[in-house]
Amino acid sequence: MKKIVVIIAFLIFLISLTILGYLLVPTKNEDGTISIKEENNATNEISYGDDSNQNNIQETSQTDEKIAYKAKLIINKYFSGCKHTITSTVEMPSDMVNLTEEELKEKYNTWQIVSFSKNKVSIYKEFEGICNEHYIVTIKDNYIVIYKVDEKDKRSLYEQTDIITEYLPQEDIAELTNGISIEGVEKLNELMENYE
């Protein structure tokens, strides 16, 4: 096992050394100029042709920041019907990896880019109607049940819990009998923890 770790560490060292060597070695262009790659991915040209150009340094290209493979995507959805913003964080979808901010704006032009870096991108969009995180917690057959509520106030069974109501305090039973409206999965989980 130690042998494998040493071999892997040695291979990583060799790859790092190769990349560093590539970045630090100047290359000569066809027109007699020398290009030196810097850490910020900009290429500077230094001309050695005649004396008037000896100190002429000019930037020839600037590489835009691109989304990394292991980046996180933060999705913010605002629902005008209930005025809630649902935020979720996911792994970056493969079709977004290696896109610049401009390419992302073009490809997903219905979304607003809130923030952009190579490791984290946050996007925002407004939707009509209500979000899908509206719940009613109530009692059915002496057990706590959770219903999901749609934008027409129609209930559909979300979860039949195994929490029996017979041992709960009377004030909790009264609230549950009337039905407790909850918005958001986190708040629903917090409420259910109180009854377990």
Within the chain, residue ranges assigned H as helices are 2-24, 101-107, 170-178, 185-195
Q: Residue 67 domain-assigned?
A: no
pLDDT band at 36 (very low <50, low <70, confident <90, very high): very low
- Supply the pLDDT for residue 167: 86
pLDDT band at 66; cut points 50, 70, 90:
very high
More confident residue, 195 or 24: 195
pLDDT higher than 90, residue 5:
no
Whether 17 is in a domain gets the answer yes
Query: Is the residue at 175 inside a domain?
Result: yes
171 lies in the same domain as 119: no
Q: What is the per-residue pLDDT across 68-90, written as a single tens digit (0 to 9) for each?
A: 989 999 999 999 888 888 888 99
103 and 50 together in one domain: no
Q: Is residue 106 part of a domain?
A: yes
User: What does the pLDDT look like over 87-119, one tens digit per residue?
Assistant: 889 999 999 999 999 999 999 999 999 999 999
Confidence of residue 25 (pLDDT cuts 50, 70, 90): low
Whether residues 86 and 44 fall in one domain: no
37-63 pLDDT tens trace: 444 444 344 333 444 444 544 443 446
Q: Which tokens hold the place of 66?
A: 């691109």
- Distances 75 to 16, 33, 55, 78, 91 between C-alpha atoms, Å: 34, 46, 48, 10, 11
In this structure, the answer to whether residues 80 and 103 fall within a common structural domain is yes
**Per-residue pLDDT at 124 exceeds 90:** yes
Compute the distance between CA of residue 73 and CA of residue 108 in angstroms, rounded to an integer. 13
Range 62-86 burial, b when 16+ CB lie within 10 A, else e: eeeebbeeebebeebbebeeeebeb
Number of residues written out for the chain = 196
pLDDT of 11 > 70? The answer is: yes
Could you give the number of structural domains in the chain? 3
Please check whether residues 76 and 99 belong to one and the same domain: yes
Is 97 in the same domain as 121? yes
- For 129-171, what is each residue's pLDDT tens digit? 888 889 999 999 999 999 998 888 889 999 999 989 888 899 9
| Residue 66, domain member (yes or no) | no
Residues 151 and 176 in one domain: yes
Supply the pTM of this predicted model: 0.53
Predicted pLDDT at 16: 73
Would you say residue 46 lies in a domain? yes
Answer yes or no: do 122 and 141 share one domain.
no
Domain end position, chosen among 41, 61, 81: 61
Residue 145 lies in a domain: yes
The answer to whether residues 138 and 190 belong to one domain is yes
Could you tell me which of 174, 167, 192, 172 has the C-alpha nearest to residue 182? 192
In a domain, 143, yes or no: yes
Taking the CA atoms of the chain, what radius of gyration do you get in angstroms? 29
CATH number, domain with residue 84 = 3.10.20.420
Domain range enclosing 111: 72-127
Same domain, 12 and 55: yes
